[in-house]
Amino acid sequence: MKLNEIQDLIKFVAKSGVSEVEVETKDIKIIIKTNNGKGQTVVQTVAAPVVQQVAAPAVQPVAAPVAEVKAPEVKAVAEDANYITIKSPMIGTFYRSSSPDKPAFVSVGDEITPGKHVCIIEAMKLFNEIESDIKGKIVKVLVNDATPVEYDQPLFLVDPS
């Protein structure tokens, strides 16, 4: 549609007393709303979406490997349900030890008790020692050393038994 056609349409709608008109073509969609009695006219134009058709390459189904992958994942989820997760209380950088030449605070198989330091999270040049709130055994470390972590991100899996 050309600009002068749109202007003529707006004038026609304003004079006709219709409160709303919607016109849609292959290229554009126009919505004209008038507020009778107040002389206000609102015009909204929306470009029509361009649909591209792309031929997808032929994909052969691979049923056997998919079934093999899903079975262990379901088992892992069931096993993880028995564990308690220690989560990050803040955003920062995760460190397993107080310095690179020192041993890690905890490793897989270590027993932890409430109050024991499990890691350090650096935030804004402050090194915050993270303490355990639970008693149990570390089953898995979920974050690599010196990597960024988000708030509430799982750090460790603990077996409480």
Q: Which domains does the chain have, with CATH numbers?
A: 3-47 (no CATH), 80-159 (2.40.50.100)
Closest CA to 96 of 152, 134, 151, 149: 149
- Please tell me the least confidently modeled range out of 13-17, 75-79, 135-139, 143-147: 75-79
> Confidence class of residue 75 from pLDDT cuts 50, 70 and 90?
very low
| Sequence-distant (≥ 6) Cβ neighbours of residue 128 within 8 angstroms | 90, 92, 120, 121, 122
Candidates 148, 135, 97; CA nearest to 119 is: 97
Mean pLDDT for 121-132 is 92
pLDDT at 85: 92
Per-residue pLDDT of 19-45, as tens digits, reads 777 877 777 777 777 765 555 555 555
70: confidence class by pLDDT, cuts 50, 70, 90: very low
